[in-house]
Amino acid sequence: MAENANNATPQGERVGEISLRRRFLNVRTLFSFVVAFGLLFLVFESLNVDFSSTWATIRSCSPLFYALAFLSYYLSFPLRALRWRVLLHNAGFRQDKGVELPSTGRLTQMILINWFANSIVYARLGDAYRGYLLKGNANVSFSKTIGTILAERVIDVLVIFLLLILAVFGLLGSRGMMVTGVVLACGIGMLAAIAIVLTVMGRFGDTLERRLPGRFRSIYSLFQEGTLGSFGQLPLLGSLSVGIWLLEAGRLYLVTHSLGFSVGFSLILFAALAAALLSAIPFTPGGLGVVETGLAGLLMIALAREGAWSIALVDRTISYLSVILFGFLAFSLWHFVKARKGGRRRSLGDVES
């Protein structure tokens, strides 16, 4: 019974409704979009990119390769859901402890909604929104769920960094080593931050918990338990993560071929992973403006400006625009089903009374 209570929402943990509509219409969110589009405009102007030539290249896109790139990207979502299920299982969210997790398809829908929310609001609110959805669906602790999502991010950064190192060996001697060095430095900075956070949790977590106000102690305890408890079955988690990021790189590789360019896979892998790191920067929704600039800048190691920008823009129609479209559909379906279930419960209540 004590284990079941740890998985349930504690009395001190109150999570109000998270409204994406209010966050989207927030002045700060609108300002972040202005910053993103302003950055894109400034970069285009400063680099003197020929937009007519870029647009002509975009229009030559092969539908077959584009469709394959699209498929490669969306195949990563079920893998992400499987990985999250493993993390949740490791953290104690499983049937033998009184938790009935949603199906893998339902978890996939939550992750797509997570990506959608990150694409329309700043500060990566979608991560919290995913925790909110699981809490409402499975009646589990929000704090502990957020811990599993943090663990997921830790694994992503570790795997991305290792794959970046492998990609660098294929880029040795290229004229873009200074740029790759900057990306690796950012990766090292993220790894250092992760190491500090996990060390503080592992060695000083109990001390920190005792010093927190009473109503926050149980919340922090569950968050720490969810984070540190997720790191089991590491070979399986690592394999799923490598598969996810190779599918991400496969998307960019296929987009490149859809536009008739031939770029070495080392650069494609490095650029795709660097773009993923840039998308984690919470200043603009989904890294808008930052990701396109960074991706095009890395591809300019091997291509002309117009070619690099055409690849970056077409790639973002998949990793950004399509996420908004399909994520909105998933979000709408989720709330439609929720509203129907709520109406059905009210109707049954009226009959019983």
pLDDT, tens digit, 9 for 90 and up, residues 203-229 = 877 887 787 887 778 888 888 888 989
64-75: average pLDDT: 98
Tokens for 48? 């003197």
**Residues 6+ positions from 54 with CB-CB distance below 8 Å:** 306, 309, 310, 313
| Highest mean pLDDT out of 62-66, 184-188, 341-345 | 62-66
Measure CA 227 to chain center: 17
8-53 pLDDT, tens per residue? 555 556 665 667 777 777 888 888 899 999 999 999 888 898 999 9
Q: What is the pLDDT of residue 343?
A: 59
**pLDDT confidence of residue 340:** 80
The tokens describing 178, both together, are 């200074």
Mean pLDDT value across residues 88-101: 92
- CA 325 → CA 18, 62, 317, 318, distances in Å? 20, 21, 10, 10
Q: What is the mean pLDDT of the chain?
A: 87
- DSSP reduced 3-state for 21: helix
pLDDT at 22: 78
Q: Are 149 and 127 in contact (CB under 8 A)?
A: yes
Which pLDDT belongs to residue 45? 85
The pLDDT value given to residue 351? 41
Q: Answer yes or no: is pLDDT of 141 > 80.
A: yes
Q: What is the pLDDT of residues 272-289, one digit of tens each?
A: 999 998 888 888 899 999
The confidence score (pLDDT) of residue 332 equals: 93
Buried b (16+ CB within 10 A) or exposed e, 209-222: beeeeeeebbbbbb
Q: Which of 9, 218, 230 is nearest to 98 (CA)?
A: 9
Q: d(Cα 134, Cα 110) in Å, to the nearest integer?
A: 8
Query: In terms of pLDDT, which residue wins out, 249 or 346?
Result: 249
